[in-house]
Structure 1
Amino acid sequence: MTGRRLYLRAGLYAEGPSDYDFLLPLLDRLLPALASSLFPGACDVADSLGIDAPYPAPGERAERIAAAIADRLAECTLFVIHADSKGDPRYARQSCVDPGIDAARRASPDVVTVTCVPVRETEAWMLVDAEVFRPWLGSGAQSALPAEPEREADPKLTLGRLLKEGGMRRKPERLHRLFGEEVSLEALRTLPAFQLFEAELAEAVRAVARSQGWSD
């Protein structure tokens, strides 16, 4: 494979603006790290792209996901489909993600997809790294964070409370990009939902590599 390089670019379909703000910079750190560990010195990873169905968008979520993927199929090599689970990841995957992937594959059978379903909300993933909170909470950041973020009933509320207690006056949603850029990947890897997401992303990288002529 001398001289050949693997090209990767993720397209992200997320539920809302704050999810894009957090997940896009997170993907831009995670995907190159995974790619370089799997294919050392032979990867080019472009910035992840937020995608949505072009106007006029279909009414059903599954069809919007399929339309968004079809619209960016020439630009992206894999697609990450996000859904908050509200405490039931299996149901969220089956009802909010799988139908869209199935619809996309009816048009493009070889499309490479990854499911991203945090337990409840992406804010749970923001509560795992005390270092990000130290500018507001100081030395008490570690003890202030929940021991098991994915068990929080309302991670968004918990995040807002912690930042308010630390004197943050801006809405937490405006900080999502900061968390995506700075939250520790090692800390995230202690969370089961993130472990599953990273494993699926690694398999997607391998699938893209195979489509580009690489062998496992």
Structure 2
Amino acid sequence: MGRRYLSLALLTEGASDQWFLVPLIDRQITELAHGAPVGFDYSGVVPGECFTVAHRDLVVREVADLLSYFDLVMIHHDHNERSKVDAIRERFPGDAHRIVALVPVRETEAWMLADPAALKEAAPARDAAWEVPHDVEKVADPKVVLKVALGGRRDAERDFGRLGQTVALDALRKVPAYRVWTDELRRAMERLRFL
């Protein structure tokens, strides 16, 4: 039997989440692939056409379309919107195991704070007087802290994309919500026999 091909689609709340999560997910899948006994091919996550903050019926239609073409559909929401992922899964009882929730505590920007070295690389001219919080999930407003960490720059696409490419997966594994996501992703991949 030849190698299998994993296809994965992603719906995020917004563009800035997408800029960070697309490279991050690709790196995490690559790491999981190294431990796969049979191996599989993967060419990268495909962003969906709508954001998850769109009207629920539009998101449900998008998920239905994506489930027709992709092995897994990943749905991102901030923690206060977790119930939306569960509501979408209820609409697809036969495919709920193929819908993976990616839900940070508070906001995705907290995950961007997990690795001080990656932040320094993203903003090398920034004065290092600030400190990364020990428990990034307890930061009340991660967007504000991230803006300070990046020196107030407004090039979110570049900065968030770079962080998605460089934040250490080992640092992220210390973040409980990240572990919850990777555990759910692993279970979904195991159920589909990729792992």
Instruction: Using the TM superposition, give the Cα deviation of residue 60 of structure 1 relative to its aligned residue in structure 2, in angstroms.
Output: 3.4
Q: CA RMSD in A?
A: 2.5
Instruction: Identify the residue that residue 161 of structure 2 maps to in structure 1.
Output: 177
Q: Contact between 2:4 and 2:41, CA under 8 Å: does it hold in 1?
A: yes
SS at match of 1:24: helix
1:29-67 deviation digits (Å, cap 9, x = unpaired) = 111211331x2352111210111359xxxx732x33321
1:127-157 deviation digits (Å, cap 9, x = unpaired) = 0101112233679759621111110000011
Instruction: Identify the residue that residue 141 of structure 2 maps to in structure 1.
Output: 154
| Cα distance change, pair 53–138 in 1 and its aligned pair in 2 (3 A) | closer
Instruction: Identify the residue that residue 189 of structure 2 maps to in structure 1.
Output: 205
Instruction: Using the TM superposition, give the Cα deviation of residue 182 of structure 1 relative to its aligned residue in structure 2, in angstroms.
Output: 0.8
Q: Taking every aligned residue pair, what percent have the same amino acid on both sides?
A: 35
1:156-193 deviation digits (Å, cap 9, x = unpaired) = 110001212xxx63344541111111111010000000
With normalisation by structure 2, the TM-score equals 0.86
Match of 2:119 among 133, 142, 152: 133
State the alpha-carbon separation in 1 of the partners of residues 69 and 189 from structure 2: 15
Q: Contact between 1:65 and 1:101, CA under 8 Å: does it hold in 2?
A: no
Q: Contact between 1:30 and 1:185, CA under 8 Å: does it hold in 2?
A: yes
| Cα distance change, pair 60–169 in 1 and its aligned pair in 2 (3 A) | closer
Moved over 4 A (4+): 137-143
Residue identity in the other structure for 2:161:
R
Range with greater deviation from structure 2 (17-26 or 39-48): 39-48
State the alpha-carbon separation in 2 of the partners of residues 183 and 52 from structure 1: 26
Unaligned residue ranges in structure 2 (runs of 5+): none
Instruction: Identify the residue that residue 26 of structure 2 maps to in structure 1.
Output: 28
Instruction: Identify the residue that residue 83 of structure 1 maps to in structure 2.
Output: 77
State the alpha-carbon separation in 2 of the partners of residues 64 and 141 from structure 1: 44
Instruction: Identify the residue that residue 95 of structure 2 maps to in structure 1.
Output: 110
Instruction: Using the TM superposition, give the Cα deviation of residue 115 of structure 1 relative to its aligned residue in structure 2, in angstroms.
Output: 0.7
Range with greater deviation from structure 2 (75-84 or 185-194): 75-84
Unaligned residue ranges in structure 1 (runs of 5+): 87-91
State the alpha-carbon separation in 1 of the partners of residues 46 and 20 from structure 2: 13
Range with greater deviation from structure 2 (21-30 or 44-53): 44-53
Q: Contact between 2:110 and 2:142, CA under 8 Å: does it hold in 1?
A: yes
Larger Rg: 1
